[in-house]
Structure 1
Amino acid sequence: MRPIEFRAWDETEKRWLNIDEFFIFYDGTIFLVTWLDDSVYDDAVTLDRAGEDIKLEQYTGLKDKKGNRIFDGDIVRIDSLEVFNLTSNYNDTPVRGSCISEVKIIEGHTYVWLTPIIDGKKIRYGARLLLKGLSKYISRNVATGSVEVIGNIHDNPELLGGAAE
Structure 2
Amino acid sequence: MREIKFRGFNKFKNKWIYGYPCDKPNALITEFRFDEKLDEFVCCDANCRQDIFRYEEIEEGTLDQFTGVKDKNRNEIYEGDIVKFAVFDLSFDSDENVEKFEKRYEKDEVVFANGRFIAGIEYGSNESLALMQELEVIGNIYENPELLEE
What is the distance in 2 between the residues matched to 1:54 and 1:18? 13
Whether 1:102 aligns to 2:82 is: no
The match for 2:127 is: 137
How many residues were matched structurally?
A: 128
Q: Distance in 2 between matches of 1:60 and 1:152?
A: 14
Over 3 Å counting, the alpha-carbon distance change for 1:13 and 1:107 in structure 2 is farther
Aligned AA (1:137)? E
Task: Indicate yes or no: 2:143 matched with 1:155.
Answer: yes
| Matches of 1:55 and 1:69, distance apart in 2 | 16
Cα deviation, residue 55, structure 1: 2.3
Which of the two has greater strand per residue? Answer: 2
- Identity rate of aligned residues, in percent? 31
Query: For 1:110 and 1:147, how far apart are their aligned partners in 2?
Result: 13
Inter-partner Cα distance in structure 2 for 1:15 and 1:108: 31
Cα gap change, 1:14 to 1:81, in 2 (>3 Å): farther
The C-alpha deviation readout for 1:94-136, integer Å capped at 9, x for no partner, is 563111111111254111135xxxxxxxxxxxxxxxxx65453
Distance 2:102 2:16 in 1: 40
Change (3 A) 1:148 1:45: closer
Q: Does 2:8 correspond to 1:18?
A: no
Which residue in 1 is equivalent to 2:3?
3
Match of 2:67 in 1: 60
Which of the pair has more CA radius of gyration? 2
**Cα distance in 1 between the residues matched to 2:55 and 2:129:** 38
Contact 2:82 2:108 in 1 (8 A): yes
2:144 aligned partner, one-letter code: N
TM-score by length of 2: 0.62
Residues 106/23 of structure 1: CA separation in 2 closer, same or farther (3 Å cut): same
Once residues 30 and 104 of structure 2 are traced to their aligned partners in structure 1, the CA distance between those partners, rounded to angstroms, is 43
How far 1:76 moved relative to its partner? 0.9
Q: Which amino acid aligns with 1:81?
A: V
1:77 is aligned to 84
> What SS does the corresponding residue of 2:104 show, helix, strand or coil?
coil
1:139 to partner: Cα distance: 4.5
The answer to whether the aligner puts 1:112 opposite 2:119 as a matched pair is yes
**3-state SS, counterpart of residue 3 of structure 1:** coil
